Structure 1
Amino acid sequence: MDRESGSLPPQFWSSPAVARALAKCDIPAVLTEVQHVRGWTQAQLAEAVGYSQSWVSKVLRGKQPLTLDQVRTISHQIGIPIRLLRFDTLEEGDQTKRRDFSKAMALAAIATQLGHDRADEATASILTTITGAQRRLEATTPARELTRTAVAHVEMARRTLSRTSGTPFVSDLCAAVSEAAGFTAWLHADMHDTGTARTYYRLAIDAARKADHALLAAYMLGSLATFDIENDDPALGLALLNSARREVGNRPPAIALAWLAGLTALGHATASNEPEARRALREAEAAVEASQRTAAPPWPWVFPFDHAKLAGYRALAMVRLERPAEAVSAFAESLSSSQPAHKQRGVLAIEIATARLIAGDLDEAFRLAQEALTVGVTYQSERVIQRARRFRHRYTGPVTTHVRAFDDQLRAVLL
């Protein structure tokens, strides 16, 4: 390792501990990993980041909060790729939730103040950090509680962008608008407001293209494709995925190819085209193998697209192809390596319930469906509730005790 240049090996940033810390913007954890991999003393670490040893000691022990400027300084000093500092997961607990909410509001106030002046090199970073803080909150917060601030944030970002014509910051601000719009689209999708969700997805795609960021545009196209596939329009979803592939060109990063292939498999499976679905899964498998040999994933991806994630896509595809044994096996593989957020657990519970129902395990299927419905009610996720309704509508068999219990719960929710 080149100690003089401060460079770190690319695989360092994609190691599990570092990836988790970066996703939560946990700078103390990142510093601990850097200190460990370099074999530095605390004094040497302090010298590297340009602060006193006592200050660094407080940071590592969680006793010294960091400002955005300090995070940027430390990141520059030890070579942390700024694009990897994201807020995509949420620790459980009301205290953490309040801290994240306060952070989001404080950053919004900063951005609002900046909005009165011309943008500078920090503006896009601040806007993106606000979106990241909101995204962390979404994991355990009803979408309706976040939507108003998310919509306002998109509009503020767009107004800021409108004042940057002729500046060198236009591209970065377009990317920030795209991220904010993509997140706002996701919130409306969770509320089952499909028209508004589609409007914001289109804005996200348009802003990404104006940013001249092919990967971001492909990511937003893939997100809209997922939305359409989940809403039973696989033909439109597959068309959007073809557009995403054209967007990234002939030599896309392996992670982009793996993700798009996984989504393509889901689209073909939803259309009951098993040969094409399996072909796409094989393509995704090959891309995952290739991605394991690369450095940290390129933005807008944060975590590597690994075999566990691919297993999740395979499971969803097998449910739609009515291959319950393969679906249950793939779900087990996927869930053994990761724990999805609360709302996503509700979605997955319905998928597993569907696989169990196809296999003839009626009681277990409706027990899982009840769990999913409880998640939907708890987090006011219309997306989960509507999936539970569709699950029930597709069942035409006898009304057993478990089916009746589910019906009672669903009726109470809807009435």
Structure 2
Amino acid sequence: MKLARVEARLSQRQVGEACGTSQAAVSRLEGRGVGSYDTAQLARVANHLQIPPHLVGLADHTAAVAARGDGNGTDVERRSFVGGVAAIAVAPALSMAPTQQAFAVDSAQAATLRAATTAFRRLDGTTPSRQLVDTVLSHLRLTQAVAQDAETDEERARLAAVGSEVASLAGWLHWDMGDNGSARTWYGASIKAARRSANPLLAAYQLGSLAQFEAHAGNAAQGLTLTRSARKQLGDGLPAIADAWLSGVEALAHAAVGDPDSTDQALTAAARRAEQVKHEEAPPWPWVFSFTEAKVAALRVSCGARLGLPRWISGARESTAEVMAPGHDKQRALLMLDIASGHLAAGRLDGAFTMAARALETGLRYKSGRIVERARAVRRSYSGPTPPKVVRDFDDRLHGVFL
């Protein structure tokens, strides 16, 4: 509750007034259920903050009771909390309108499993992948076991969608660890599960995820083929966020083969569609984070680094504040390495390797093989005479790295 309220930039008093209760009552709700409170009151506040009822331990009928203004909640309802999953799932509910569409049709099992998956996805930004991966794979096995016991085709399809999300997260974590072979395996599994779920939007998302991986790996032809397949899944009904994101992936693929004109065209298309995302009601599930113009700017930096165009990097840096913000440590480190490449291409060695060293420290803190390999790529791009001290210091730090 507190995290959702802070995210909405509301005070306890403002929430209380909107829900017909007091600041003190809201404070009690935020105190992890300490003291007494009315179930309908809890439901009204959750509804005001757009938190799905089950994430605060309420059945859907309790929310309906609150909507009628009936304040008679039972002791059983008060204590029907989802347990450990609810505790970690509140945080991902904050800015996660995408998942609300899925929750609306999910069974309790599928919704709870999805909530845990989403929490793990958000934890990834500030947690070493090596610490998350075993838990995520165990979660995948649990999801698969639950799916095997499902009694209806409809429920199996819902659980296949959840399994697709978990497999995709496993692919992302292995990519971050530098295990590209396993990453491809899990991305492939996520695509197969998405197709079993009979959800074209999810299938397009997972195809795009693998396309993004291949584009970053320099496999341009595969990346472009996969994005075409993703677009084909949705036909003319492509949401703005999907179109913008896939255009960004295409830009990375074009940059990988050194085609600045096609890259620029794809980035321009991504920016145009990203501007339209804000006019959609909410980014559609399964997008956990929205795709914004700041992220397009960050993509231009990344493409500029791959194309050796420092003017693209310097021109887009001011627009990347969202990606550089606290809470996105790994993304920030990767972007810093792209900016370092721009400095290097422009002949600014001190700036390049000072920034690269800071990014490398982030990679080491989170044991991210992907960040470390990107740091090595920056170092390989310098082939001048006897390296100055800032480069030698970077070499000393990099040579001792074993992940």
Give the TM-score of the pair, scaled to structure 2. 0.78
Q: Are 2:305 and 1:319 equivalent residues in the alignment?
A: yes
Deviations 1:351-395 (A, max 9, x none): 111111111111111111111211111111111111111222232
Q: Does 1:45 align with 2:19?
A: yes
* Aligned CA distance change for structure 1 residues 167 and 251 (closer, same or farther; 3 Å): closer
Give me the whole-angstrom Cα distance separating, in 2, the residues matched to 1:338 and 1:185.
24
Gaps of 5+ in 2: 56-82, 90-105
Aligned residue for 1:139, secondary structure, equals helix
Instruction: Show the counterpart of 2:256.
Output: 270
| CA separation of 1:41 and 1:365: change in aligned 2, threshold 3 A | closer
In 1, Cα distance between equivalents of 2:41 and 2:325 = 28
Aligned residue in 1 for 2:268: 282
Cα distance in 2 for partners of 1:170, 1:264 equals 33
For 2:239 and 2:152, the matched residues in 1 are separated by 31
* Residue identity opposite 1:45 in structure 2: C
283-292 or 223-232, which deviates more: 283-292
On the 8 A contact 1:265/1:280 being kept in 2, the answer is yes
- Distance in 2 of aligned mates of 1:30 and 1:371: 29
Match of 1:291 in 2: 277
Identity of aligned residues (%): 38
Query: CA separation of 1:373/1:53 partners in 2, compared to 1, >3 Å: closer, same or farther?
Result: closer
Superposition deviation, residue 31 in structure 1: 8.2
In structure 2, which of residues 376, 391, 402 is the aligned counterpart of residue 403 of structure 1? 391
Going from structure 1 to structure 2, the CA distance change for 1:151 and 1:65 (only over 3 Å counts) comes to farther
Q: What amino acid is the match of 2:401?
A: V
Among candidates 328, 334, 353, match of residue 366 of structure 1: 353
> Does the 8 Å contact 2:363/2:371 carry over to 1?
yes
Distance 1:225 1:403 in 2: 34
Deviations 1:27-54 (A, max 9, x none): 4447885999xx8853x6157xxxx986
Q: Which residue of 2 aligns with 1:64?
A: 33
- Counterpart in 1 of 2:381? 394
Q: Is the contact made by 2:216 and 2:252 (CA closer than 8 Å) also made in structure 1? A: no
Q: Does the Cα contact within 8 Å between 1:140 and 1:342 map onto a contact in 2?
A: yes
Number of the residue aligned with 1:182: 168
Q: 1:161 aligns to what?
A: 147
Question: Are 1:214 and 2:200 an aligned pair?
Answer: yes
Structure 1 position 375 matched with structure 2 position 344? no
Label 1:403 to 1:104 Cα distance change in 2 as closer, same or farther (>3 A).
farther
1:56–1:263 CA distance, 2 compared to 1 (3 A): same
What's 1:14 paired with? Answer: none
Equivalence for 1:229: 215
Q: Is the 8 A contact 1:171 1:212 kept in 2?
A: yes
Q: Check whether the contact 1:131–1:180 (CA below 8 A) recurs between aligned residues.
A: yes
SS in 2 for 1:380: coil
Q: Which of 332, 343, 354 pairs up with 1:356?
A: 343
Query: Which residue number in structure 1 is paired with residue 69 of structure 2?
Result: none
Number of the residue aligned with 1:26: 3
2:19 counterpart SS class: helix
Paired residue for 2:101? Answer: none
User: Counterparts of 1:406 and 1:338 in 2: how far apart (Å)?
Assistant: 22
Q: Distance in 2 between matches of 1:70 and 1:147?
A: 38
For 1:150, the equivalent position in structure 2 comes to 136
Q: CA deviation at 1:167?
A: 4.9
Alignment of 1:135-146 (within 5 A): 135-146=121-132
Q: Secondary structure at the match of 2:33?
A: coil
Counterparts of 2:318 and 2:135 in 1: how far apart (Å)?
A: 37
Measured in 2, the distance between the counterparts of 1:337 and 1:229 equals 20
Question: Aligned partners of 1:171 and 1:34: how far apart in 2?
Answer: 41
In the alignment, the residues of structure 2 paired with residue 406 and residue 41 of structure 1 have an alpha-carbon distance, to the nearest angstrom, of 54
| TM-score calculated relative to the size of structure 1 | 0.76
Contact 2:16/2:25 (CA < 8 Å) preserved in 1? no
What RMSD in Å do the two structures reach over aligned CA positions? 3.3
Q: How far apart are the structure 2 equivalents of 1:292 and 1:104?
A: 30
1:134 aligns with 2:132: no
Letter in 1 for 2:396: D
Pick which of 165-174 and 402-411 moved more.
165-174
Aligned positions, number: 354
Q: Secondary structure at the match of 2:126?
A: coil
Distance 2:320 2:130 in 1: 30
Code of the residue aligned with 1:164 in structure 2: it is: A
Distance 1:351 1:357 in 2: 10
Q: Deviations over 1:5-30 (max 9, x none)?
A: xxxxxxxxxxxxxxxx9xxx934447
Contact persistence 1:35–1:45 (CA under 8 A)? no
Please list the CA deviations of residues 118-165 of structure 1 after superposition, one character each: whole Å capped at 9, or x if unmatched: xx9210111111112222332222211111111111111011111114
Gaps of 5+ in 1: 1-20, 86-101, 109-119
- 2:367 and 2:49 map into 1 onto residues whose CA distance is 41
Aligned partner of 1:300 in structure 2 is: 286
How many Å apart are 1:292 and its aligned residue? 3.0
Question: Counterpart of 1:304 in 2: which secondary structure?
Answer: coil
Q: Secondary structure at the match of 1:384?
A: helix
Cα distance change, pair 185–74 in 1 and its aligned pair in 2 (3 A) = farther
Q: Which residue of 1 aligns with 2:78?
A: none
Q: Aligned-pair distance for 1:347?
A: 1.1
Q: Given that residues 85 and 112 in structure 2 are in contact (C-alpha distance below 8 angstroms), is that contact kept between their aligned partners in structure 1?
A: no
What is the aligned counterpart of 1:122 among 108, 122, 139?
A: 108
Structure 1 CA distance, aligned partners of 2:139 and 2:241? 29
Secondary structure of 2:150's partner? coil
Separation of aligned partners in 1, 2:10 and 2:233: 36
